[in-house]
Homo-oligomer: A and B are copies of this chain.
Amino acid sequence: MAGNSFGQIFRITTFGESHGPAIGVTIDGCPSGIIIDEVFIQSELDRRKPGQSRITTQRKESDTVTILSGVFEGRSTGTPLTMLIPNEDQRSKDYDHVKASYRPSHADYAYDQKYGFRDYRGGGRSSARETAARVAAGAIAKLFLNDRGVRIQAYVSRVGAVQLDIPYNKLDLSLAEENIVRCPDTKTAERMIALIDQTRKEGDTVGGIISCVIFGAPAGLGEPVFDKLHAELGKAMLSVNAVQGFEYGSGFEGAFNKGSENNDAYYTDEAGAVRTRTNKSGGIQGGISNGEDIYFRVAFKPVATIMQVQETVDQNGNSVNVVGKGRHDPCVLPRAVPIVEAMAALVITDHFLRNQMYKS
């Protein structure tokens, strides 16, 4: 109801503010018997953590995760699984200048309108730091899915004007982790990195697109009519900080085509499986997965905190100027790749379990 939980069966609740003692997450509905690989969970957090390369914020946080409950002798018990990530590199005074003024295109003003007051330090609850908890929970979901042959891979496909035009199935997606911008095409990656470098020097920020592919999802996932699989994926992605667009399959471009161009013909392959000749549907038809690859694209706006003077007002409505201080990302996309994967893993795991209700 208050919006801090996600999922129906594999249900997570995140908690914690940017500058409190810790952030964390509880998974209620985690099946028992999953082997909990803590090294893997930490490695996922490392992909998201600040300070990992020169194109991210230089804040230093180890983002070390501790499991508080729900695991016994290395396996999930079926009881609530809580993970805690202490906050370390808190420079609350970096935020004194925004205590009373509203940063443009941040959540400050809206939070004050809604709750009456706010923890202003580092954005408090509205900080993207909260997504570390999602990544931890998503790692558990990935462990669950790995055992069932489902693999999720996201990558940066656009930064500002620099776009990767090659479709996912012509790329070696494993290369995405080989460079600091997480783009699987080396040349495009270099251009993206150069653009981010330049943007940071200008005290500005830049947005872009993350593409994501889900391989190996079985047919039958998704609950029409409201909880269509792509509607759930869309909500999951749009709930991530800075996201302002989502499309799946042929997306916006496909909308401009004719039906005869956008339809996917069925055929039976040599192994006797029903397949589609094309996959404009992005692996989802009528809101239910059909066994083909699921793919979608997520648009991230440029980070709102810039190192330039901006006009704004204070809590009394007086006109003031604000300039970004502290250490911020010129482009969130490289660090957002594991977040997109985590949210996708949470949705697929939840629907995997939801779909089991029909197996009676």
Contacts and interface: CB of A to CB of B under 8 A. Distances in A.
A323 interface: no
Contact of A274 (B23, B79, B109): B109
Interface string A332-360: 00000000000000000000111111111
Interface in A46-81: 66, 68-70, 72, 75, 77-81
Contact of A28 (B4, B115, B236): B4
Contact of A302 (B21, B72, B255): B255
A15 B84 CA distance: 12
A285 interface: yes
A358 B144 CA distance: 12
Contact of A306 (B244, B263, B299): B263
A80 to B, nearest CB: 4
Contacts of A28: 1-5, 13, 15
Nearest to A268: B317
B68 A15 contact: yes
A206 to B, nearest CB: 6
A328 to B, nearest CB: 10
A119 interface: yes
A105 B225 contact: no
Contact of A78 (B115, B158, B226): B115
Given A13-B26, A69-B20, A319-B267, A259 B118 contact: no
A276 B313 CA distance: 10
A82 B26 CA distance: 11
A2 B223 contact: yes
A70 B262 CA distance: 31
Interface string A104-136: 111111110111111100001110001000000
A99 to B, nearest CB: 11
Contact of A252 (B226, B257, B299): B299
Interface string A246-285: 1111111011111111111111100010101100111011
Which of A11, A81, A207 has the most C-beta atoms of chain B within 10 angstroms of its own C-beta?
A207
Given A110-B289, A118-B77, A287-B107, A226 B239 contact: yes
Given A158-B256, A300-B255, A219 B110 contact: yes
A199 interface: yes
A281 B310 CA distance: 16
A85 B205 CA distance: 42
Contact of A77 (B9, B119, B252): B119
A216 interface: no
A214 interface: no
A312 interface: yes
Nearest to A247: B245
In the A-B complex, the 8 residue pairs with the closest CB atoms: A107-B286, A3-B223, A205-B259, A245-B247, A110-B288, A3-B227, A235-B235, A15-B80
Given A5-B28, A263-B310, A268-B318, 8 more contacts: A3-B222, A13-B13, A110-B290, A126-B286, A205-B259, A232-B235, A249-B301, A259-B306
